[in-house]
Amino acid sequence: MKISELIGEFEKICPQQWRWRNDKVGLFCGDPDRAVEKVLLALDPTDEVIEEAIEGKYDLLFTHHPLSRSDFPSVNARDYIGGKLYRAIQNNLAIYSAHTNLDFAPFGVSVALAGILGVKFERYLHPHSSEKLYKIVVFVPRENFELFRRQFLDIGVGHIGNYSHTSFSVAGEGTFMPREGANPYIGTVGKLEKVEEYRLETIVPEHLLGEALAAVRELHPYEEPAIDIYPLQNNKINGGFGVVGTLDRIITLEDLARACAEKLPTDEVKVAGDMLKSGAVRKVAVLGGTGDSFVKDVIAAGVDAFIAGELSHHSALELKSHGVASIVAGHFGTEWVVLPNLKKIILDIFEKYQLHGKVDIARFEGPVFRSIFKEIYKKE
């Protein structure tokens, strides 16, 4: 399979439109038409990870964090960002990143984090997507309606929350007169036709709109099907940033902090709150990475504690003032956990194409920050 095909399959379930505002995601370098058989996964495209990918002869380096969050003017071997690209291009290594769109995905970072920590999923912390939604309306002859509806919904349109294949239909009468040069499915040139039709309407996310329009033209019996497209204000899709859920029992904040230290690949766990207060924690919000943008969501969720990768002093104070304890478990530790999920997804794509592709998680990668106090304690 080609790199473009692998990316296309992945973006069907994790489209770029799910990214946070102007986040940089996608293919940073590489030939989309090149065959891909070996993929290396990593949180960050560090020099060490890029070298591991080159030495292991991987075709694609797939990372969570992008090479850069802003545009860069050139591919200069001496630049911090440009040098990485230069080295990758020299060795025919493609680099692709799925960042905040992977944070948002229903199999994404925070969902993986909640699962590891034993937080039972209840809802997403911030369920609003930046992707636009549309309502598409098509008019189909009665005799063709059921087959058309089934095939059209099968392409992936009509998702509302955890429900798929949602649609609405109503019967009516359509009229048309084929003109000279037409090749009508029903009717005769120059004669007004009245046809019993069904109005079919369903929701289509922006990343599927082009595919949906192409499907209508392919599946519809009419030479010129009538299609209406309405932009919607609704932006709730099956996904979200962060997770709100419950633990299987009430525990202390100290117990929860210890679970983070033991179960996550991190060496930095900080706590804001009463560590030993009995019966303190049951309802929890978790979010991989930086949590400052979601403090208002956390407060509104009415949770006992918030687990994030990073959190500022002022955010912790604001949470504390509302009775919410905070656990900061490191950016790396709270986001690396998605890589095993990602590995399974890419292996499933290879299997779909009947390929025995190889997918590995980078070995030369770990937390940036280390606790010097923890190391001293170990020595004692």
Q: How many CB atoms lie within 10 A of CB 325?
A: 24
For residue 63, which phi and psi values (nearest 5 degrees)? -120, 160
Domains and CATH numbers, the chain: 3-101+337-361 (3.40.1390.30), 106-127+240-329 (3.40.1390.30), 133-234 (3.30.70.120)
CA gap 42, 251 in Å, rounded: 33
Q: How many CB atoms lie within 10 A of CB 8?
A: 13
- Give yes or no for a contact between 368 and 45, defined as CB atoms under 8 angstroms apart: no
245 burial via Cβ count (<10 Å: 0-12, 13-18, 19+): buried
Write out the chain's pLDDT in tens, 380 residues. 999 999 999 998 999 999 988 899 999 999 999 999 999 999 999 999 999 999 999 999 999 999 887 776 678 888 888 889 999 999 999 999 999 999 999 999 999 999 999 999 999 999 888 788 999 999 999 999 999 999 999 998 998 877 889 999 999 999 999 998 888 888 888 899 999 999 999 999 998 999 999 999 999 999 999 999 999 987 677 889 999 999 999 999 999 999 999 999 998 899 998 776 656 899 999 999 999 999 999 999 999 999 999 999 999 999 999 999 999 999 999 999 999 999 999 999 999 999 999 999 999 898 888 876 654 444 44
What pLDDT is stored for residue 73 in this prediction? 65
CA gap 130, 177 in Å, rounded: 42
What pLDDT is stored for residue 276 in this prediction? 64
